[in-house]
């Protein structure tokens, strides 16, 4: 599958690109080792909580740049509560779709936006730092896309069991031994969970 014309347009002429001076909140997600990293900057009206300005920087491929560009378009002018509803599926739809192997880029863009909003809310006393629990793990697993079909591994029922005891995460996966994406998925699970200080050990079991 090729990139849509919308992806190419946003890649070649991204909207809201560039570093913001004195943002009210910022977030960086992804890592150079995965080949993609996005930073989102927010300016929020303290009174009505509207995102008045938003910009991004992206280290990554064409779809990484395009999804970051579209996510800033979708969020601009929205209240924080409205922006919290924006998902990677919205970004993908707004770009007229993405090749399955590139869907993870839209997840990264949406995730970075959500983290920036969360950082704003925490800094302004609008919410508490959430407790780490099994739900946090499941939410993180929902951000991991199976590249073959472009859907997340939770929706695809590839996660059979999630446990969390004494800092140890236990995940039972439902992926065949001949599935060539097993290593990629395992790596991604580590990347998503290792950023939490509560996680001391991750055990992933494949059949």
Query: What does the binding site for another protein look like in residue numbers (CB under 8 A)?
Result: 11-12, 14, 17-19, 28, 32-39, 57-62, 64-65, 101, 147, 180-181, 184
Q: Which of 8, 17, 34, 162 is catalytic?
A: 34
Smallest distance from the beta carbon of 132 to another protein, in angstroms? 26
CB of 153 to another protein, least distance (A): 15
| Residues 75 and 85: beta-carbon distance below 8 Å | no
Distance of CA 85 to the CA centre of its chain: 13
Q: Which is nearer to another protein, 66 or 80 (CB)?
A: 66
Whether 105 is catalytic: yes
Query: Of residues 105, 107, 159, 171, which has the active-site annotation?
Result: 105
- What does the radius of gyration of the chain's CA atoms come to, in whole angstroms? 17
CB of 46 to another protein, least distance (A): 26
Task: Please confirm, yes or no, whether 34 is among the known catalytic residues.
Answer: yes
Contact at 8 Å (CB) between 139 and 172?
no
CA of 31: how far to CAs of 3, 41, 135, 142, 199, in Å? 23, 17, 23, 18, 19
Catalytic residues: 34, 105
């Amino acid at each position: 599958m090729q990139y849509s014309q919308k992806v190419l347009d946003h890649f070649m002429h991204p909207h809201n690109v560039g570093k913001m001076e004195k943002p009210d909140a910022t977030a960086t997600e992804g890592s150079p080792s995965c080949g993609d990293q996005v930073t989102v900057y927010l300016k929020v009206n303290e009174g009505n909580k509207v995102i008045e300005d938003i910009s991004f920087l992206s280290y990554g491929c064409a779809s990484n740049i395009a999804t970051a560009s579209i996510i800033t378009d979708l969020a601009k002018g929205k209240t924080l509560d409205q922006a919290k509803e924006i998902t990677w599926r919205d970004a993908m739809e707004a770009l007229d779709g993405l090749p399955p192997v590139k869907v993870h880029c839209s997840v990264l863009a949406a995730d970075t936006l959500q983290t920036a909003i969360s950082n704003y809310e925490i800094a302004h006393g609008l919410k508490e730092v959430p407790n780490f629990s099994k739900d946090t793990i499941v939410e993180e697993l929902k951000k991991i896309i199976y590249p073959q079909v472009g859907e997340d591994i939770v929706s695809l029922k590839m996660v059979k069991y999630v446990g969390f005891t004494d800092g140890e995460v236990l995940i039972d996966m439902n992926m065949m031994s001949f599935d060539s994406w097993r290593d990629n998925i395992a790596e991604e699970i580590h990347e998503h969970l290792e950023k939490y200080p509560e996680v001391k050990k991750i055990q992933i079991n494949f059949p």
